[in-house]
Amino acid sequence: MEKVLIVFKDHSFRAYLEGKWERQVNKALFDAITLVFSITPKEQIEKNASSIDAMLIKLFDDKEFLEATSGSRAHK
């Protein structure tokens, strides 16, 4: 999880909707990010942290991505 915090800090595993980060954890993001980060060297993540964060925000402009992840919010 250290790698995730390097990139996403307090908005780890959260959707970016209507210009703000959601409060709830998104299960689909959790699964995807955890998998990819588990096989990516920490140095590579640190080097590209701001780009990774920016690309995730851009993904939320994609209708198909939104549909694929919208039903995956964890309930508290």
**Tens digit of pLDDT for each residue in 16-60?**
998 999 999 999 999 999 999 999 999 999 999 999 999 999 999
> 74 or 29: whose pLDDT is higher?
29
What is the rounded distance in angstroms from the CA atom of residue 39 to the CA atom of residue 22?
26
pLDDT band with cut points at 50, 70 and 90 for residue 70: confident
Instruction: Give the tokens for residue 3.
Output: 């790698």
The pLDDT tens digits for 3-17 are 999 999 999 999 999
Sign of the C-alpha dihedral computed for residues 73, 24, 19 and 43 taken in this order: negative
Domain boundaries, the chain: 2-69
- Give the pLDDT confidence score for residue 73 in this predicted structure: 52
Q: How far apart are CA 40 and CA 58, in angstroms?
A: 21
Q: Which residue has the higher pLDDT, 76 or 3?
A: 3
What φ, ψ does residue 17 adopt, rounded to 5°? Answer: -130, 135
